[in-house]
Amino acid sequence: MPADFSSLYNHHEREVFGAVMDASKDFPDIADSNDLLCDVACVALNRLPPRYIRHEVDFSFYLTEHERLEIDNAIIEAVSYAFNFVQARTALRTRK
């Protein structure tokens, strides 16, 4: 019987996707493009260590408040970096 790994996911995905959508209002040129928003999410996720879980409660239950704040700050920083990175790369491409 093959194993079913479909319940596993990276905890940061949902958080990063939400942070990207929240920050997108400050980057209207990127917000208008689904492809660029996906690029931003990929860049941000690649800057964070993966945290694979099966259930959100499993992850949240074992975190201290300090760890939770560190993760939130890391996500905000990664998303900010990603928007600036994608914006700079897009500007370079349009100059060529």
26: nearest Cα among 80, 76, 68? 80
- Quick one: what percent of the chain has pLDDT higher than 90? 70
CA 35 to chain centre: 14
CB atoms inside a 10 Å sphere around CB 44: 28
Cα dihedral across residues 95, 39, 42, 23: positive or negative:
positive
Say whether 51 sits in a helix, a strand or coil. Answer: coil
pLDDT tens per residue, range 9-49: 898 999 999 999 999 999 999 999 999 999 999 999 999 99
